[in-house]
Amino acid sequence: MPKPLILLGAGPRVYSDFTLAQIAASRPVVLVDAFAPDWAHPYLTHHLAADPANSAAAIAAVRSYAVGHQVGGVLTCLPAHRLTAARIAQQLRLPAAPVMALAACADRLAARRLLAQHALPLARWAEACDASAAAAHADALGYPVVIKPRDGAVTMHVRNRGEVPSAYDHVCRAAACPASDSLLVEEDLEGPEVCAEAVVVDSTDIRVLAITRTTAGPPPARQVQRRSVYAHDKLLHHPVLRQVVTGAITALGLTAGVVHITMTCTSRGPRITDVNTHLPDDLIPLLVQRATGIDLPQIAADLATGRPPNLTPTRQRAAAVHFAYPSATGRIEHLKVTSATPQPLVDRFVLTQRPGQDVVSTPYASSGDRLAHCVAVGPDAATCHTTLDRMARHLTVALSTPVTNSRAV
């Protein structure tokens, strides 16, 4: 039997159950978390009660466990714990990307400086220490711009100077930025957003296994509304895109793991907007598996335990997910999927809210305001999008009198 894999953090069931099931299918899993949620129990062989957000406590718990048990590797699927996982692996002399490389990727400012030093194509950006500086940089870059924290998923798209102060304050609050932290002001590029799902087997073997295409909602939050993966996406063989991905991974010093690189395909070619060194979220591993047969969670676990990963596609299909958001701000009174007829191309349709919860309308929503998601599988992306459009009409929601929207800017 393979040695157990230490997993830091279970994550939310709605997005993590597929990943954990795939990892546990081939190896024992020991969860490090403050508590083990009921849904995760069937996938676990052991639970270490330690909060992975407390790095010292998590490291101590794993080191204590390792005294009397063999450990095959250390992994996390949650961005907040990636450095702790790497430090544990390093201390136990297990496979992992260098901590310094992961730390650079976790800091957008540090990552952009490294990428710029290697002449990689980026969106133009500037560092701002306050709202006044952000407005000055935005004026220089030209509107629209995006305001981002150095770490975290919160972003705000700004169309004019008057929106800068409130957007800057919103990002600071939503990302819980320390008072001394600066933010990034970045040009809002025109063109389709794509993500390269790459695997670093070692520093000389970097593969782009899938392309995820993204449809975003309205500004200022521009939350992800749809993701899609097609096994025959023409960008898989785009030489410039592949060079950009390989160059970015090399410049950042990443030597092993799954990497998710977000780019905008502009008229001047692809421009990097983000690099993430953990399994992608938004059910992208599920889409990749349904469309290509490639199992990103298994690959991440194999690399974490030093086993050769299986990178061979076994399917030639497409898969897409649609995230439904409320059209108004309020408290949910009713939420239901009206179609009871089985749909052959629908992989799943999951409600992610319940009556009594407060939600914020699409322009200011976060991923926590999603009402439901639907996954479709088909022979091509167009078929998937048609299925998702049809299924979206079967979601009904009723909201009570709007509640105060503290997130609106």
User: How far apart (Å, rounded) are the C-alpha atoms in residues 262 and 194?
Assistant: 6
* 70 and 178, same domain (yes or no): no
- Token digits for 73? 């590797």
Tokens of 41: 């129990």
Residues 278 and 378 in one domain: no
Residues of the chain predicted below pLDDT 50: 405-409
Residue 114, domain member (yes or no):
no
User: How far apart, in whole angstroms, are the C-alpha atoms of residue 225 and residue 243?
Assistant: 28
SS3 state of residue 174? helix
The CA distance from 374 to 388, in Å, is 7
Domain shared by 143 and 183, yes or no = yes
**pLDDT at residue 181 in the model:** 84
Tokens 């599920």 label which residue? 286
Residue where a domain stops, chosen among 283, 316, 349:
316
Cα–Cα separations (whole angstroms), residue 24 to 2, 31, 213, 301, 348: 11, 11, 28, 9, 21
Q: Please tell me whether residues 271 and 163 are part of one structural domain.
A: no
97 contact partners, CB below 8 Å, separation of at least 6: 86, 200, 253, 254, 255, 256, 257, 277
The residue among 187, 155, 151 whose CA lies nearest residue 168 is 155
Q: Please compute, for residue 369, the number of CA atoms within 13 A of its CA located in the half-sphere on the CB side.
A: 24
What's the rounded Cα separation, in Å, for the pair 106 and 83? 9
182 shares a domain with 220: no
| Among 362, 320, 286, residue whose Cα is nearest residue 15 | 286
CATH number at residue 158: 3.30.1490.20
The number of folded domains in the chain is 4
Instruction: Decide: 248 and 261 in contact? Cβ < 8 Å.
Output: yes
Q: Which of 198, 395, 373, 183 is nearest to 303 (CA)?
A: 198
Rounded to whole angstroms, the maximal C-alpha distance in the chain is 61
> Does residue 364 form part of some domain?
yes
Q: What is the CA radius of gyration of the chain?
A: 21
**Domain termination residue (choose one: 286, 316, 346):** 316
| 99-106 vs 239-252: helix crossing angle, rounded to 10 | 120
Note whether 175 and 280 are same-domain residues. Answer: no
Q: Residue 248: which CATH number?
A: 3.30.470.20
Last residue of a domain, one of 267, 285, 316: 316
| Within a domain: 69 | yes
In a shared domain, residues 136 and 217 = no
| Structural domain includes residue 254 | yes
> Are 229 and 301 contained in the same domain?
yes
Nearest to 267 by CA among 382, 121, 158, 147: 121
Backbone angles phi, psi at 350, to 5 degrees: -120, 125
Specify whether 210 is located in the same domain as 172. Answer: no
What three-state secondary structure class fits 313? coil
Kindly state whether residues 130 and 217 are assigned to the same domain: no
Q: Are residues 309 and 342 in the same domain?
A: no
Residue 249, domain member (yes or no): yes
Q: Does residue 372 fall inside a structural domain?
A: yes
Expressed as residue numbers, the domain containing 223 is 193-316
Indicate if 163 and 227 belong to the same structural domain.
no
Q: How many CB atoms lie within 10 A of CB 340?
A: 6
Helix (H) and strand (E) counts for the chain? Answer: 11, 19
Q: What angle do CA 24, 26, 32 make, to 5 degrees?
A: 35
Q: Are 158 and 167 in contact (CB under 8 A)?
A: yes
Q: What does each C-alpha distance from 293 to 17, 243, 344 come to in angstroms?
A: 18, 24, 19
pLDDT at 407 (0 to 100): 47
Helix/strand/coil for 283: coil
- Per the domain annotation, does 104 fall within a domain? no
Q: Tell me how crowded residue 203 is: count the other CB atoms within 10 A of its CB.
A: 12
CB of 76 closer than 8 Å to CB of 94: no
